[in-house]
């Protein structure tokens, strides 16, 4: 029996589509109910629906063997996992954004204040990559408000189409990382349940390659 942690929302549905394409029976997980654990004894699969940012935790502790979660969450949580496949779902970018006037002038502002939902990614980027200290302001949503209200000079956030940014006079200043959904595996499960997990990885990989060609 494999326990699979899905990120609640659109990503869960997309993941199930992919699994179906790879030949797995996922009818149990499609069931519309308020159940949080959906089990299919015959298929040997148990699905749990978790908040995306909790998926890496379930998998790291072995409460789930496998998880599907965005790279943004993985970078932010920094868990000890095997990250075996890029599922290519939910593609977007993690960016530094701010007033369009700051384009190519980001390095000129000293002691930046950065608003973000991702304090760890922000710290790793500014301290690790750009070698500078910044003041991080942790926010929980509508991060674009921060530079508009003067709470922060710039933000670090996910950018998909960039429309919210442009409509508010903001622009992408730098790209921190490319984001998409990843298949993650618990490090113990990879050994103890190799007979179930390894074939699943290859089947999913094949389904992905089919989709690309």
Partner 1 sequence: MANKFYTPDGFTDQLPGVCAFKRELEARLRNLFLMNGYDEIETPGIEYFDVYRSFVAEEELYKFTDGKGRLLCTRYDGTIPVARYAAGRNDTLPMRLSYIENMYRAGQIGGGKQSGFTQAGIELLGASGSKSDAEVLALAIKSALELGLTDLQVSVGQVQFFKGLSRQLGLSGETIAKVKAAISNRDSVTIEKLDLSREDKDTLLMITESGGTYDTIDQMLPRVTDEGAKAALGNIKEILDIMERYGYLKYVSVDLGLIESIDYYTGMVFKGYTYEVGFPVFGGGRYDDVSKTFGKDMAAVGFSISLTLAITALMRQDKFTPAAGATVIVGGDFERAIATAEALRAEGTAAVLDTTGMTEEELDAYAKARGIETIMYMNGGEA
For tokens 């710290």, what's the residue?
A: 123
φ/ψ of 183, rounded to 5, equals: -95, 120
Closer to partner 1 at the Cβ: 61 or 166?
61
Q: Which of 15, 8, 80, 84 is nearest to 45 (CA)?
A: 15
Apex 206 CA angle, 76 and 12, nearest 5: 45
Query: Which CB atom, from 136 or from 165, has the smaller least distance to partner 1?
Result: 136
Instruction: Catalog residues that contact partner 1 under the rule CB under 8 A.
Output: 57, 59-63, 77-86, 185-192, 194
CA–CA separation, 114 and 98 (whole Å)? 10
Smallest gap, in angstroms, from Cβ of residue 53 to partner 1? 11
> Smallest gap, in angstroms, from Cβ of residue 205 to partner 1?
8
Quote the tokens at residue 71. Answer: 């790279």
**Residue whose CB is less far from partner 1, 81 or 165:** 81
What minimum distance in Å lies between the beta carbon of 209 and partner 1? 11
CB of 61 to partner 1, least distance (A): 5
Cα–Cα distance, 195 to 9 (Å, whole number) = 29
| Shorter beta-carbon distance to partner 1: residue 65 or 153 | 65
């Amino acid at each position: 029996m494999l326990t699979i942690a899905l990120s609640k929302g659109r990503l869960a549905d997309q993941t199930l589509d992919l699994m179906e394409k790879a030949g797995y029976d996922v009818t149990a997980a499609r069931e519309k109910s308020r159940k949080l654990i959906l089990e299919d004894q015959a298929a040997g699969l148990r699905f749990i629906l978790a908040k995306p940012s909790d998926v890496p935790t379930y998998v790291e502790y072995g409460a789930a063997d496998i998880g599907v979660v965005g790279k943004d969450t993985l970078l932010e949580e920094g868990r000890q996992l095997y990250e075996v496949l890029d599922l290519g779902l939910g593609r977007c970018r993690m960016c530094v954004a701010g007033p369009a006037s700051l384009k190519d002038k980001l390095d000129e502002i000293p002691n930046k204040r950065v608003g973000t939902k991702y304090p760890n990614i922000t710290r790793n980027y500014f301290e690790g990559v750009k070698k500078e200290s910044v003041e991080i302001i942790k926010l929980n949503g509508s991060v674009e408000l921060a530079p508009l209200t003067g709470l922060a000079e710039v933000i670090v956030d996910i950018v998909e189409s960039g429309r919210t940014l442009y409509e508010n006079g903001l622009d992408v200043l730098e790209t921190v990382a490319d984001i998409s959904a990843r298949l993650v595996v618990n490090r113990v499960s990879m050994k103890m349940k190799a007979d179930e997990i390894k074939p699943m990885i290859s089947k999913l990989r094949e389904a992905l390659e089919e989709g690309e060609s």
